[in-house]
Amino acid sequence: MQKWGGNMAITKQEVVELVKRFHDVTMLEKGTGEDQAAFFLHPEPRIFILHGEDISLQQNYEIHQRLVDEVHAVCDPWEITQLSDNPERARAVGAVYWQGRLVDSDEDDVIKAIVGEDWIVQRVPGGELKIALYINSYHHFLPDSAPIDLK
């Protein structure tokens, strides 16, 4: 991999691609906690949930193992705020549409939510973006959503 020359602002496109890749691994590929951790800068990362108990990536993996037919889409707008040049770091705030259903549920029992995402991302020396901090700020369940206990 090419060594990163640095000091190019982190773009919305880069962040959206990272968000999509992370959620693809989590929901579509059913990636393990270790697979999810590859997206993070620091060892033993957690998802900080402002409206409940913080979870490890292993717990996130276990939640998504209980679900099928998961779909996600990055919602606009995403706001990108450059935080520093050394290290190159930005805050990304936006939302993701998420739906799925519990494994043994009826096909009509679809969970539908808009999920608030508040990330600090950092460019590593190879040029790749990593998640330094992942805050899940809300789950707004849509009126026709099936219920789910996220514990």
pLDDT of residue 6: 54
Q: Which domains does the chain have, with CATH numbers?
A: 12-141 (3.10.450.50)
pLDDT of residue 38: 96
Mean per-residue pLDDT, 13-35: 95
pLDDT of residue 150: 67
**Average pLDDT over all residues of the chain:** 91
Residue 7 has pLDDT above 90, yes or no: no
Each residue's pLDDT tens digit, 36-95: 999 999 998 999 998 888 999 999 999 999 999 999 999 999 999 999 999 999 999 999
Q: Which amino acid is at 124?
A: V
Residue 1 has pLDDT above 50, yes or no: no
Residue 3 has pLDDT above 50, yes or no: no
